[in-house]
Amino acid sequence: MRAAVLAVLVSALLAGCRRQEARPPEGGGSEQQTPSPTATAAPPGAVLFISADTRGYLGPCGCSENMRGGIGRAAFQVQQARKGGQPVLYIDGGNSLFGETHLKADQVPQEERKAKALADAFRTMGIAARATGELDDTRGAAFRQGLGLPEVASGGVKVLDAGTRKVGVVAAASGEALVKASQQAREQGADFVVGLLDQPLEAAQAAAALPGLAANLVVATHSAGEFSAEENRLVRSDVPVVAVQSKGRSLLRVDLTYAPAKGAFTLQRSQGDVEREVTALEQRMALLDKEIALPGIDPKLKALKQGKRDELSARKQGLLTAPPAPADDVNGFATRFLPLESNLPTAPDTQALVKAYDADVGQLNLAWAKAHGQDCPLPAKGQAGFVGSAVCADCHPDAAAVWEGTKHHHAWETLEEVGKQHHLNCVGCHVTGWQKPGGVCRLDKVAGREDVGCESCHGPGSRHVDAPSPATIVGKPGQAVCVTCHNAENSPHFDFATYLPRILGPGHGGTGKSGQAGEPPAK
């Protein structure tokens, strides 16, 4: 019966697919870019690419499938556009170099190395200007300035050549400062002005309504919190306001089209058909993402759905990168968000910088731990400490057998496979008791605490070992425990009710086999 159902599903999907396309390999060339079937020659104008709120991300963590982002993919988009014959300007809005305003001592080697890798990547993209924010100054202004990037000081102006027009880039931390700087940009000859405001979207909306603002576009460059910019946002008003999806998951593309004579720029609103089609494609992709991430999905069906998703993504990319039609005798601009989907190519030179970082940072972190690392403090009197999964297995062999068949048991191995077992951004969700009293606080002393063990979910077990009782252990951990790692970033399709049965079995809260036997689910 199961095979028959699968056959019907596969046949239906095959009938609905016009063409299956192979996923482009990483570092692919220009031939991998799928053009729009309606693409036309680029009109006179220029292309702006804007990033912001990258928060120290070189790329997605890789915990789940089809994760957006990656500086290599962003670089490919910019480099590819430069082959179109128009002037291309890449601008960064700031809050890009670090993810936190304060670092612990053990984080410093990794985060400084990452910031340098990001700066080098910006250079491969030919960065023309960038603003700065508090997440750029985590290691101080001297460190930031030492990276040698073309900065626009807060309240400052930079005017860039863009063919027969000039683009003014202004940076500010308040609406009043943005108004003043935008007026200065006009005085310096800017035909089109981009305002980079170091504020969340709501504050940028208020700034865009201020009298005297001489900007054509305002970009909110600092989201309110780590998970506050999960989507791209465009607010259509007299001065459009945008907020780009954080952590390097999308780029903003602005296409300028020039009329024969200079004059004011008008936002083109004739992109409705394209926007509707892109929205429809994204909705279909989102449904496929959920299906692809379902625990226990048949591998053949999963591959088929992935192929369809890649086809839809390629169609969407073609629509988003096709040049807009020029408006007769009007200087126009069109804004588009470019989600950096997982199947898009990466720029080889930029991706090489990411690989070099990955190779260096593990060694840096391990060396720091050996030279300066300190053991976790002991638990307070009367509080439980960690004992390790092997001790749990002595009294709970059935539960241990179930656990050994789950992906939790292989969490450390998944890091080793990609060489990230010494990356501080990753290790906390792949060992037991990370940075907790009586747990593990040093990368050079992980032995015995690898993997997501019993105590990751049930809490430290020393009191339970001394006095076995339901009162001395967390018998049935709830969703709040899971989402400390299965959060919106690392596990965007996590559903507690769907995933819980995958880690249960005889002697471990379930009556049947562990649902993960055979194929551990993606996060």
> Over the stretch 40-72, which tens digit does the pLDDT of each residue have?
555 689 999 999 999 999 999 888 889 999 999
Q: Does 278 have pLDDT greater than 50?
A: yes
51 and 8 in contact (C-beta within 8 Å)? Answer: no
Q: Does 437 have pLDDT greater than 80?
A: yes
Q: Does 28 have pLDDT greater than 50?
A: no
Q: Does 39 have pLDDT greater than 50?
A: no
> Over the stretch 288-314, which tens digit does the pLDDT of each residue have?
999 998 888 999 999 999 999 999 999
Q: Side chain identity at 154, as an amino acid letter?
A: S
Cα 234 to Cα 364: distance, rounded to the nearest angstrom? 41
Cα 174 to Cα 196: distance, rounded to the nearest angstrom? 10
* Residue 332: closest CA among 78, 84, 46: 46
Any residues with CB less than 8 A from the CB of 3 and at least 6 apart, and which?
A: none
> Over the stretch 189-233, which tens digit does the pLDDT of each residue have?
999 999 999 999 999 999 999 999 999 999 999 999 888 888 999
- Across 253-275, average pLDDT: 87
Q: What is the model's pLDDT at position 446?
A: 92
Q: What is the model's pLDDT at position 325?
A: 75
Vertex 191 angle, CA 185 and 195, to 5°: 50
CATH number, domain 45-268+326-339: 3.60.21.10
Q: What is the model's pLDDT at position 42?
A: 57
Quick count: other Cβ atoms within 10 Å of Cβ 63?
19
Q: Side chain identity at 393, as an amino acid letter?
A: A
Any residues with CB less than 8 A from the CB of 112 and at least 6 apart, and which?
A: 139, 143
- Give residue limits of the domains in the chain: 45-268+326-339, 271-324, 375-503
Per-residue pLDDT band for 271 (boundaries 50, 70, 90) equals low
Q: What is the DSSP letter of 233?
A: E
Cα 124 to Cα 71: distance, rounded to the nearest angstrom? 10
Torsion of CA 130, 131, 136, 142, to 10 degrees: 80
Mean pLDDT of the chain: 88
Distance of CA 442 to the CA centre of its chain: 27
> Over the stretch 332-368, which tens digit does the pLDDT of each residue have?
999 999 999 999 999 999 999 999 999 999 999 999 9
Cα 159 to Cα 141: distance, rounded to the nearest angstrom? 23
Dihedral over Cα of 504, 508, 510, 511: its sign: positive
* Residue 73: closest CA among 124, 138, 10: 124
* Residue 251: closest CA among 25, 82, 77: 77
